[in-house]
Amino acid sequence: MAFGMDRSPAARTVWLQGLKEARKACGLSQAGLGAKVGLPQSHISRIESGAVDVGLSTLLEISRSLGLEPIAVPRVLVPAVRSLMRADSRDGSPPPRPAYVLDDERA
Amino acid sequence: MAFGMDRSPAARTVWLQGLKEARKACGLSQAGLGAKVGLPQSHISRIESGAVDVGLSTLLEISRSLGLEPIAVPRVLVPAVRSLMRADSRDGSPPPRPAYVLDDERA
DNA sequence: CACATAGATGCGTAAAAGCATATATATGTT
DNA sequence: AACATATATATGCTTTTACGCATCTATGTG
């Protein structure tokens, strides 16, 4: 039937959920994260709740400020990449300590 | 100095460039891609040119229809993932043949 | 209670998404 | 060559929505 591919909040929830967890793993509040990337806390709230469809630029800023880089991975490689990520989170270091924040940590 | 982190077109260009190449590798026109994901060709044009800041939902739809899955990878693992992707694109199969399109290829 | 700190909500504005149309850029025909 | 035809990308304009500011509602804690 080819129904025009989901643009509902649920479609992006899994992604947003990941970012939210990453934020908490960094010990950041919505306001804290907002301050880091120059966004109002209100917007972070709406993004995480799926109320708005966040733009790519904002998504990149948020992800990177949490030590994450969004990469378009070929579908066949997704399992390999996920496995790589699981292995890494078992190395002994607690959560991925976002870095020892040098004021504006560019990357 | 902490200048409020780039939200300019240039900041997302590299990402968009990748999508554009993926589209061409799939032998799709902007209109063809638009039809697949239920978006007007005009919008694909503006997205690829960086004229607009594409939303996450749309980005996911486009990426997935091209056989790509956007994943937030911890920065330390980015080189490993990229290396994995390079290795895969050397396996003998020409471009990543988007799949043998079953009308609406959900995934 | 007062005073934090964390997240949500109303509203105005700038910008993304959508529709129609215009501009390439080929390829073919007389 | 000029003309048609087809396909690929860009642009003007309208509607919808992301983003930003202020405010409000939790949920603590002394």
Kindly state whether residue B101 falls inside one of the protein's structural domains.
no
Kindly state whether residue B65 falls inside one of the protein's structural domains.
yes
Q: Dihedral (C-alpha) A6, A10, A12, A14: value to the nearest 10 degrees?
A: -130
CB contact under 8 A, B88 and A77: yes
Give chain B's domain count: 1
Model pLDDT, residue B91: 58
Of A56, A71, A80, the CB nearest to B78: A71
Q: Is B107 helix (H, G, I), strand (E, B) or coil?
A: coil
Kindly state whether residue B82 falls inside one of the protein's structural domains.
yes
Kindly state whether residue B99 falls inside one of the protein's structural domains.
no
CA distance B63 to A18: 18
Nearest in space to A107 (alpha carbons), one of B75, B13, B56, B72: B75
Q: Which residues are bridge partners to B48 per DSSP?
A: none
Per-residue confidence band for A7, with pLDDT thresholds at 50, 70 and 90: confident
Kindly state whether residue A44 falls inside one of the protein's structural domains.
yes
- Tens digit of pLDDT for each residue in B53-78? 999 999 999 999 999 999 999 999 99
Domain that holds residue B72: 9-88
In this prediction, residues A46-65 reach a mean pLDDT of 97
Q: What tokens appear for A41 in the block? A: 């806390």
Q: What tokens appear for A95 in the block? A: 């959560």
Tell which wins on pLDDT, B94 or B68: B68
CB contact under 8 A, A2 and B104: yes
How distant, in Å, are the alpha carbons of A102, B28, B43, B46 from that of B53? 28, 22, 11, 9
CA A100 to chain CA centroid, Å, is 19
Per-residue confidence band for A6, with pLDDT thresholds at 50, 70 and 90: confident
Q: What tokens appear for A66 in the block? A: 């949490």
Distance in angstroms between the alpha carbons of the first and the last residue of chain B: 44
For B:62-101, CB contacts with A below 8 A are: 63-65, 67-78, 80-82, 84-85, 88, 96
Q: What is the mean pLDDT of chain A?
A: 85
Kindly state whether residue A101 falls inside one of the protein's structural domains.
no
Q: Is the pLDDT of residue A60 over 80?
A: yes
How distant, in Å, are the alpha carbons of A33, A64, B56 from that of A49? 15, 20, 14
Q: Which residues of B touch A7 (CB under 8 A)?
A: 57-58, 61
CB contact under 8 A, B69 and A78: yes
CB contact under 8 A, A73 and B77: no
Residue in chain A nearest B60 by alpha carbon: A12
Query: Would you give the DSSP letter of residue A34?
Result: H
The CATH code of the domain that includes A37 is 1.10.260.40
Phi and psi at B78, nearest 5°, equal -55, -45
CA distance A61 to B4: 10
Q: What tokens appear for B88 in the block? A: 């895969």
Model pLDDT, residue A9: 83
